[in-house]
Amino acid sequence: MHILYLVNALDSPPGVLLEEAALLGASATQIDTVNGRDMETGEARAVPEAAAGYDALVVLGGVMGVYEAGKYPFIEESKRLVRRFHDEGKPVMGVCLGSQIVASAFGAPVYKMSEKLEAHEEWGFVPQTWEAAVADDPLLHDAAPGLRTMHWHGDTFDLPEGATRLATRETCPNQAFRMGGRTYAFQFHLEVTRGILDGWTTLRAKALNVSRPTIEKLIGPQIEEALRPQEAFARQTMRRWMALCR
């Protein structure tokens, strides 16, 4: 099995989604979409136009918005590729920005949370409310109620026509959805590891112009309480998603 990972920010790598796939024997191609290069060889490599040669697609997070396609050409390229994988029945997984790209690929608007919701952003480990539809979902049917998942985003999206919503939150209703049987979108960061979060702690401090210890005081207890359960959930979700190829 060969999985294509579209990495839209170098500080948001595939993390456990790559680790778990490798443990199951899958090979991977990682493309740095912003700089247009293969992350293993360093050679120039754009977002592919077709799904040929790949069995599944993972689209990861980034700081840009889907509505900034004029500045970031990979966004429209990624949307087209999502539809090609979907139309060929190959599994797709969108994470954070990736979930917004998936939503947009199926015609749904993406916008800043502050435009339609009271909340300006979601940050940290926050609990999910699973919809009734997860009872029959091949990935999420036994997801723990109130599972806390990592968020860092200020954008959200409307649910695409024909989508099945799988998770919600009062402050940001569309947290996860499925299109058909093999295309999934997760607003939260399934991929995070302790190493990724360590880097994000520094980035968060810089973004808010506060000291790193200030952010550590906030996120540290959350990491200790919530990271291990989320990582177990993410690994299981990845295994089940990969099984859709079979």
Beta strand 122-127 with 129-130 is unpaired
Rounded to 5 degrees, φ, ψ at 185 are: -135, 130
Q: What is the pLDDT of residue 136?
A: 95
Average pLDDT over residues 68-72: 95
> In this structure, what token pair is assigned to residue 116?
């339609």
- Helix, strand or coil, per DSSP, at residue 30: strand
CA dist 93 and 172 (Å) reads 20
Q: Is the pLDDT of residue 135 over 80?
A: yes
Provide the sign of the torsion angle of the four alpha carbons 218, 224, 229, 234, taken in this order.
positive
pLDDT per residue as tens digits for the range 14-68: 999 999 999 999 999 999 999 999 999 999 999 999 999 999 999 999 999 999 9
pTM: 0.96
CA 133 to chain centre: 20
pLDDT per residue as tens digits for the range 191-217: 999 999 999 999 999 989 999 999 999
CA angle 239, 147, 56 (to 5 degrees): 25
Query: What does the DSSP assignment read for 126-182?
Result: EE-EE-GGGGG-TTTTTPPTT-EEEEEESEEEPPPTT-EEEEE-TTSS--EEEETTT
| Per-domain boundaries in the chain | 2-192+232-243
CA dihedral 191, 232, 56, 36 (to 10 degrees): 20
Q: How confident is the model at residue 115 (pLDDT cuts 50, 70, 90)?
A: confident
Spatial contact of 134 and 147, defined as CB atoms under 8 Å apart: no
Q: What's the fold here for domain 2-192+232-243?
A: Rossmann fold (3.40.50)
